[in-house]
């Protein structure tokens, strides 16, 4: 689906143009065309390839989707893949943003995501002094919007972790806590897979051999690089906290099991005493003085009850019961 197709010159919008006129406008000096597509199909990608002379391998990656975040050079153009991460109904939705950039065009394609870049285009048009820097600044604005989208996801994951931590020492909730922690860990890994490869990719645009069209925008991509490092550090911190919380929860389960085992052992000891006395007096020997004593039975019951009661008191005092 075509979202918009706009021509810009010297930082200002010229006009919306039809796709058929793209090849004419990209020939104009100091002019570039910015095309935005959503869930582009095969025919649309083929048409864009013809208009912009896109590399076959880059187009194939955009067509197949599900690419790892990366930045690749193809002659004088760049192909960038980013993952947009959104929190929808408690679950993470991972989309893909593919951007083709050259000196005279920007082609952005978003797939499987609700995130839109209308605000990015409006921001660029409000800042003509920055838009004069050309297509490199447009790529920065798109990348900055994607990276900024990671922060609310991080905040939501941290809030969920804090909520689980408050329930860790609640009796009887250990199993639920462990399940929630593992679900949270999966979400964190999803975000990690979006952020970590992009750190390495963006590093190519603010250090080392920077492509010529990005020479004047290195400081902007350095800012994106710093944001990604902050997010990555927070992700590592959350992962460590989750691992610790899981260990604590499992330890709480072991403690509860030990409490149960202690109770069972205490009751077993109490009944063992009663069983021992009953077993002795239940033996049918001929010479047993107790058999002819009229108070033998009440005495036996009193003795067994007294000893069992004393044991119960001692176990209760030590915390076993």
The pLDDT value given to residue 314:
73
Question: Nearest-CA neighbor of 251 among 182, 180, 174, 319?
Answer: 174
pLDDT at 112: 85
Residues 213, 76: Cα–Cα separation, whole Å: 9
Q: Is the dihedral of CA 96, 194, 135, 210 positive or negative?
A: negative
* Alpha-carbon distances of 229 from 78, 150, 232, 233, 238, rounded to whole Å: 23, 12, 5, 6, 14
Count, in order, helices (H) and strands (E) of the chain: 10, 7
Please report where in the chains the tokens 């197949």 appear, as a residue.
64
Concatenate the DSSP letters of all residues of 247-307 into one string: HHHHHHHHHHHHHHHHHHHHHHHHHHHHHHHHHHHTS--S--GGGG-TTHHHHHHHHHHHH
CA distance 84 to 67: 12
Largest CA distance in the chain: 124
Domains of the chain are 1-129 (3.30.460.20), 257-318 (1.20.58.340)
Per-residue pLDDT, 297: 63
> How much is the pLDDT for 280?
58
Question: What tokens were used for 145?
Answer: 């919007």
Handedness of CA 123, 125, 126, 130 (dihedral sign): positive
pLDDT at position 281 is 60
Nearest-5° Cα angle at 154, 147 to 93: 70
d(CA 220, CA 234): 22
DSSP reduced 3-state for 313: helix
Ranges of residues in the chain with a pLDDT under 70 are 277-278, 280-297, 299-300, 315, 318-321
DSSP letters for 139-189 = HHHHHHHHHHTHHHHHHHHHHHHHHHHHHTTSTT-HHHHHHHHHHHHHHHH
Task: For 221-256, write each residue's pLDDT tens digit.
Answer: 999 999 999 999 999 999 999 999 888 888 887 777
Rg, the chain, Cα only: 35
Residue with token string 């609310």: 152
Q: Is 88 exposed, middle or buried (0-12, 13-18, 19+ CB in 10 A)?
A: exposed
pLDDT confidence of residue 216: 84
pTM: 0.79
31-38 β-sheet, strand order = 12-16, 2-9, 31-38, 105-111, 91-102, 77-88, 70-74
């Amino acid at each position: 689906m075509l979202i918009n197709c706009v021509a810009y010159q010297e930082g200002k919008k010229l006009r919306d143009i039809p796709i058929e006129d793209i090849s004419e406008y990209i020939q104009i000096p100091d002019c570039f065309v910015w095309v935005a597509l959503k869930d582009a199909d095969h025919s649309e990608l083929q048409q864009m390839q013809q208009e912009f002379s896109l590399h076959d391998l880059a187009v194939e990656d955009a067509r197949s989707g599900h690419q790892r975040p990366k930045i690749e050079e193809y002659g004088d153009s760049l192909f960038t893949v980013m993952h947009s991460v959104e929190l929808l109904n408690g679950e993470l939705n991972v989309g893909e943003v593919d951007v083709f950039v050259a000196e005279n065009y920007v082609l952005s394609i978003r797939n499987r995501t609700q995130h839109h870049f209308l605000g990015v285009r409006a921001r660029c048009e409000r800042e003509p002094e920055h838009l004069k820097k050309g297509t490199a600044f447009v790529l920065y604005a798109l990348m900055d919007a994607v990276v900024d989208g990671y922060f609310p996801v991080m905040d939501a994951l941290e809030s969920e972790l804090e909520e689980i931590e408050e329930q860790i020492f609640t009796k009887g909730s250990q199993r639920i806590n462990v399940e929630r922690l593992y679900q949270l860990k999966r979400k964190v890994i999803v975000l990690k897979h979006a952020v970590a490869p992009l750190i390495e990719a963006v590093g190519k645009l603010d250090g080392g051999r920077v492509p010529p069209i990005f020479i004047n925008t290195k400081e902007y991509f350095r800012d994106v690089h710093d944001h990604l490092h902050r997010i990555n550090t927070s992700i590592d911190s959350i992962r460590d906290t989750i691992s610790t919380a899981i260990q604590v929860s499992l330890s709480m389960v072991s403690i509860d099991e030990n409490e149960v085992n202690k109770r069972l052992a205490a009751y077993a000891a109490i009944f063992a005493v009663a069983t021992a006395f009953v077993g002795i007096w239940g033996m049918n020997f001929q010479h047993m003085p107790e058999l002819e004593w009229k108070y033998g039975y009440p005495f036996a019951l009193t003795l067994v009850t007294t000893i069992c009661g004393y044991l119960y008191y001692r176990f209760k005092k030590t915390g076993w019961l």
